[in-house]
Structure 1
């Protein structure tokens, strides 16, 4: 199955989608579809920088790459691609995806799927009308820590879930004295950058899948570090937000609060952690670990500011065992999407789900600008 991969010269497109997903599948002999059938993914690298594409292709023994997306989508016969994948900068994604849908290709997109809700809904409607299969990357659902958390939810461990608290982020160096860990376009609003646009789509599907639909949002969004240095060492004004503090109301009365920041120094065990509190127990889940405290094992702390705490609170939590082998989350979802395309197996993380993420980011930005809570209406396609 030939797959046009647009944006593989970027860190995420290259490391997670090409190397750790499709090439990893090839290294293990392809994707076993059952009944003696093996699906062999054949990446066709697409991008703007010819030298970078050539270098990646030579490094991994790939033969097909192009800087002409139109020609790749128009190719027929043995050179025809069946799937178009996009991990470009956000501002370029919707237009390229529309082109692919018009060419009759199945589409699989990084999030956010578009820069605004109208464009995201248009993509979903176009894909539905064209009859192509479509999906959006929702990788955090496949993290070991969140898979364990989902197991707890489905097993009724929490009783009635009361609240969810999430902390995400780390210090991204400004670029003047240490190289930044993220590309400069992430900090330019005109290029689709900003932590709200980047992370709220993640929080939408995590909350929606594990706890319930988001009914309202109140957010405070800001730019803590207004001046940064780009890949060439040139200073520039950061026009996009680098921190977002949000309160969400979910179905069933659950309250969720999530802080997202690229201007915070980490004092937690993992770069993202969610604490879930319920009437029967609590859990703290990160990328890989998940720890629990049942109500029968909950200690009885007493507030006394005059004496040091007599116990270690972290030691009072129990580790949730793996009980399974966890594949790379991006690869796991790629395999499901490839089976969806090849066999028609169910797949619920479609462009409508992607549009919900864009909607929440848009409403978060508006909530911050207007200083008020906003309801999140159900989308109609």
Structure 2
């Protein structure tokens, strides 16, 4: 029988949907149910969650539901525990920077949701502090682990596209205003003063997808709008939205690739998945979503002719081929947790650190600046130790 190596993990923000469902239940608890994370010498890493939040009643309810015992409403007390090695943050964005700073000061390794801070200056300072403290740090970059994007990665690595020309992304869905139907997202998402806004939320995602899948982003041009200016919160009270709910970004990548990504919480879905990326190259194209990926090779590309006087007779979607799974795709959040646990315990490589998170915040910050000033903005390099 494998020997369990316990790793204490302070989990701050598990009363929220993402922190609870993806990080606690489908990641750490799923790891425990599977017997831990195997490492060398017949050992398994065994995460021991310490649930932290503002509501003791909610924390106790979650702990009772899953047979856990360690909860706290005092972050400092939780971080002072000698049996805790990792601090994880899935709080509201506006509270994250301060809490991560506390964890670094306490000598804890840090794993966090994004964005890591509300400003690039704050994100850089966190990365510097973590490096200086000698703690390991990582940022959730879950979309890289989606089955659709893993298939897309396989196509890129196999040279399917030839020279990649462009990337077009569509993300979003209709988030109800909250008056006649409850909203699917918390009201703080629409308050800039609480760290809300679709640019701060989604541009860090688009940054790591573009950077890791294609090439670094070198310039951004963005337009944002608040399509639904009046919404209703969780208590049914009307409020004015102070953050944008729709963003339209043009991203110039190194090597000449152009990416266009539309993000909106005020759009109705007419696509196969809530997010889709179309990649066009000289030798072929692909459309990847959360799970599926379809391709069209240049040898099988039809020859449409523009003629508005005649009805379309071609079934364009039928001219694409589905990429097979050829693998088992587990939960991406869990896969990344397992990698970070091995990174902390065994020193295995982990490239998605706080500096990667800072670059995502930088893209969001410069995207908002581009929208305010109505112009294209080049993106300077962020390097370990400071900003160029």
Q: TM-score interval w.r.t. the shorter chain? A: over 0.9
Whole-Å Cα distance in 2 between the matches of residues 54 and 210 of structure 1?
Answer: 41
| 1:8 alignment counterpart | 14
Whole-Å Cα distance in 2 between the matches of residues 336 and 308 of structure 1?
Answer: 52
Deviation at 1:34, TM superposition (A): 2.9
Q: Which stretches in structure 2 are left out of the alignment for 5+ residues?
A: 1-6
Are positions 1:92 and 2:104 aligned together?
A: no
SS in structure 2 at match of 1:84: strand
Whole-Å Cα distance in 1 between the matches of residues 212 and 44 of structure 2?
Answer: 31
Which deviations, in whole Å up to 9, do the C-alpha atoms of 1:107-145 show, x marking residues without a partner? 001000001001000000000000000000000000000
Which deviations, in whole Å up to 9, do the C-alpha atoms of 1:134-193 show, x marking residues without a partner? 000000000000000011111110001000000000000000000100000000000000
Deviation at 1:75, TM superposition (A): 2.1
Over the aligned positions, Cα root-mean-square deviation in angstroms equals 0.6
Are positions 1:31 and 2:37 aligned together?
A: yes
| 2:4 alignment counterpart | none
SS in structure 2 at match of 1:44: strand
TM-score, L = length of structure 2: 0.97
Are positions 1:59 and 2:65 aligned together?
A: yes
Within the candidate set 174, 182, 191, 2:177 is matched to 174
Within the candidate set 75, 88, 93, 1:69 is matched to 75
Deviation at 1:310, TM superposition (A): 1.1
Deviation at 1:199, TM superposition (A): 0.2
Which deviations, in whole Å up to 9, do the C-alpha atoms of 1:53-108 show, x marking residues without a partner? 000000000000000000011123xxx21000000000000100000000000000
SS in structure 2 at match of 1:284: strand
SS in structure 2 at match of 1:41: strand
Are positions 1:280 and 2:283 aligned together?
A: yes
Superposed, which structure 2 residues align to 1:70-149 within 5 Å?
A: 70-76=76-82, 80-149=83-152
SS in structure 1 at match of 2:181: coil
Whole-Å Cα distance in 1 between the matches of residues 170 and 85 of structure 2?
Answer: 39
Whole-Å Cα distance in 1 between the matches of residues 371 and 14 of structure 2?
Answer: 34
SS in structure 1 at match of 2:59: helix
| 1:328 alignment counterpart | 331
SS in structure 1 at match of 2:87: strand
Runs of 4+ in 1 over 3 A off after TM superposition: none
| 1:151 alignment counterpart | 154
Report the more deviating stretch, 303-312 or 41-50.
303-312
Q: How many residues align?
A: 378
Report the more deviating stretch, 28-37 or 225-234.
28-37
Whole-Å Cα distance in 2 between the matches of residues 158 and 298 of structure 1?
Answer: 13
TM-score, L = length of structure 1: 0.99
| 2:220 alignment counterpart | 217
Whole-Å Cα distance in 2 between the matches of residues 368 and 290 of structure 1?
Answer: 32
Superposed, which structure 2 residues align to 1:203-352 within 5 Å?
A: 203-352=206-355
Whole-Å Cα distance in 2 between the matches of residues 75 and 303 of structure 1?
Answer: 68
Deviation at 1:35, TM superposition (A): 2.2
Which deviations, in whole Å up to 9, do the C-alpha atoms of 1:173-216 show, x marking residues without a partner? 00000010000000000000000000000000000001100000
Whole-Å Cα distance in 2 between the matches of residues 34 and 166 of structure 1?
Answer: 41
